[in-house]
Structure 1
């Protein structure tokens, strides 16, 4: 009997059966565990192996096939991991009653404009040497990842969108690579069906794109990709991305494929002076060559800024005043405008802010519901909002009092009292 599960295929890894789910996630089941479960249930001695992506069992009993499918799906949450970060994944669904406002790792973020940030998952497939949150396969601080169920994410977005009104930009981003979200095409489709959404944009490093996915995203209604390419020199690009197998040529081909599919591209290099600032004109030439920036600016040069929990290469740091002077000089020299970007270039404007549920200094009773992403961090809930609790030894299920120390943009951080 050959068994397959929706959106999945199987691999055999050592003494385990590995289920690859939606390309970005996997779960390992010990072969002995599966065989034991079948033996207990059906009083037979099964033999299991993988062949051409199928799970093969030496039986024709259809009840066994249904049992294996049920067993795997029932235990998927215990073993689910990211294929790219290799970290355990917490799958967040409606039954868990986890609020999707209040935390910057996943869910929704409203910064008081008509743009809503949508973060369906955490994790990244590269380990950029300047990463502001120490993400990727070589992270030293990130302990686990989250994935939010697509229906639950869209349900929360719909509530936020109805409050914010029409003309919204739904921006897919995150602490990492949005294409790791296993329902990315369905997410774009769902957002396109929302009557309050006018623009759907996404940040990406482009590595996981392929021709088929580009076409699917275009058909689903994606309008723009802010593409993170930090060097047009293959070896320098590998160094900046922190990955020896980074394929720059593939990403450049995908940039062109996006434009050809009708998805606008904004190249978004992080400029580290002394390393890649001398490539600015080359980036401009490439943007012009592929036809980037049809509806929005073609380039969004970013100034490298060191962050407390990020990676800190030993490099020169330019003040923003100096950086903007550099950009204006580049505009004059190349004729590429705008390079000094403003919200109006993207149709962004102020919009009423979702009311804050807490104020700084307030002491709140919080139920701890999830482990956090770094040591000493947990996530709690109160008033239908998530709160990041730092410097805590609390455990899931406990109720503790925390003092709110941050509320900016509706992202709440508290410390135990």
Structure 2
């Protein structure tokens, strides 16, 4: 009897399918029949394959079969990889693919002209917030695939960016979704902690995937702050806002306290929708005070709800002009004594730094190679001059060489249209 378990993974058994769960957040479904058939073709023997306690169990003592199945699974993993939470196909980006990690908004690195660098290792989300600006999470209407960037490749690009930007950087781990879905999140924090140009490591999170072990690992790796997305302190309202029926608010609140106790600073970051959760502002402040949030940085970061073209824009939300929002914050500061609530870059040690030079000018027409499918209908991802370009309104295919007119270059994120 052979019991097989691959590094950083375990197996789940279903009626006709065997699912490999790799690094918590990625899965691959293998046909039980196809595995048995592959063994039969290779070794001329019939075996039965099952799953017990996370192991793949094969009723044979032939070690050659064990090695063969390990190779078979690893060899087919790339084509079957899916996001465990969105169920979407995952494209795993590694150095051999030659994909630049600057220029695209969904993954890689983003430089917005300060000493903060956004580090985006993956896409996807485990929640489905009703106000999500990018329509992320399970059952998204618009997002059709996910990306994961190999950690060594991500760090190679970060090292180049860091040397260009100088020392004293904040590495901010964020995503179009939930950064904890990145399968190498602890290793990423540890590597950034050891980088000579990094002074602060922060992360945004909805907190759902945290547990005591992961909090401890992140603290030991060197994470400094978590901007925690909690949008209501009422369990039923929180479920409605997060768009997930089994959202466990109490767990997230416990994890907020666990982060603080582990030495990781916490900033509570609710999205405020007037008429929905603005009446909970003082309760958020009281909770932040109670757990000891905001030791080095502000304890709260109230965000004004803004509708977006490709987002989920609920009818219950009433957009409020920022002038009125800031007046509301000033009144809250005066009433509660909690300051600052109107946040400025200097509250986080952020200040301007020269941008990494732009690779393209707006209006320029460039020749580019289409290298990846995009995340939404009509979008493809091309590369030119060692940068990525989001090509919209395109029917091109991967491998095509096309002419693209650059229509957006803001913050080194390039958007183009076919010519």
Q: Do they fold alike, i.e. is TM over 0.5?
A: yes
1:160-175 equivalence runs, <5 A: 160-175=161-176
Aligned residues: 417
Match of 1:151? 152
2:349 equivalent to 1:347: yes
Q: Say if 2:305 is the partner of 1:307.
A: no
Q: Deviations over 1:190-220 (max 9, x none)?
A: 1001000000000000000000000000000
Question: Secondary structure of 2:402's match?
Answer: strand
Q: Deviation at 1:138?
A: 2.2
Q: Describe how 1:18-417 pairs up with structure 2 within 5 A.
A: 18-314=19-315, 315-417=317-419
Q: Matched residue of 1:265: which SS?
A: strand
Q: How far apart are residue 40 of structure 1 and its match?
A: 1.4
- Measured in 1, the distance between the counterparts of 2:150 and 2:226 equals 23
Q: Distance in 1 between matches of 2:52 and 2:280?
A: 48
Separation in 1 of the partners of 2:30 and 2:232? 41
Distance 1:246 1:32 in 2: 36
SS at match of 1:188: helix
Taking structure 2 as the reference length, the TM-score comes to: 0.99
Q: Deviations over 1:272-317 (max 9, x none)?
A: 0000000000000000000000000000000000010001111211
In structure 1, distance between residues paired with 2:318 and 2:150: 41
CA distance in 1, matches of 2:164, 2:14: 48
Instruction: Structure 2: give runs of 5+ residues left out of the alignment.
Output: none
The alpha carbon displacement at 1:58 in A equals 1.1
Question: C-alpha separation between the residues in 2 aligned to 1:397 and 1:36?
Answer: 34
SS at match of 2:77: helix
Q: Distance in 2 between matches of 1:14 and 1:135?
A: 30
Secondary structure at 1:295 match in 2: coil
SS at match of 2:301: coil
Which segments of 5 or more consecutive residues in structure 1 lack a partner in the other structure? none
Within 2, Cα distance between the matches of 1:63 and 1:94?
31
Secondary structure in 1 aligned to 2:377? coil
**Alpha-carbon distance between aligned partners in 1 of 2:192 and 2:121, rounded to the nearest angstrom:** 13
Task: Give the whole-Å Cα distance in 1 for the aligned partners of 2:33 and 2:367.
Answer: 45
* Deviations, residues 344-380 of structure 1 (Å, cap 9, x unaligned): 0000000111000001111111100000000000100
Q: Distance in 2 between matches of 1:197 and 1:362?
A: 35
Aligned mates of 2:299, 2:46 — CA distance in 1: 62
Matched residues in 1 for 2:61 and 2:99: separation? 42
Partner Cα separation in structure 2 for residue 14 and residue 133 of structure 1: 35
d(CA) in 2 for partners of 1:312, 1:16:
37
Output the CA distance in 2 between the equivalents of 1:300 and 1:28: 40
Give the CA deviation at 1:251: 0.1
Deviations for 1:316-357, whole angstroms, at most 9, x for unmatched residues? 111001100100000000000000000000000001110000
Following TM superposition, by how much is the alpha carbon of 1:44 offset from its aligned partner in structure 2, in angstroms? 1.1
Provide TM-score, normalisation by structure 1.
Answer: 0.99
d(CA) in 1 for partners of 2:21 and 2:190?
23
Partner of 2:267, secondary structure, is strand
- Partner SS for 1:394: coil
User: Which shows bigger deviation, 134-143 or 33-42?
Assistant: 33-42
CA RMSD of aligned residues (A): 0.5
1:198-257 CA distance string (max 9 Å, x none):
000000000000000000000000000000000000000000000110000000000000
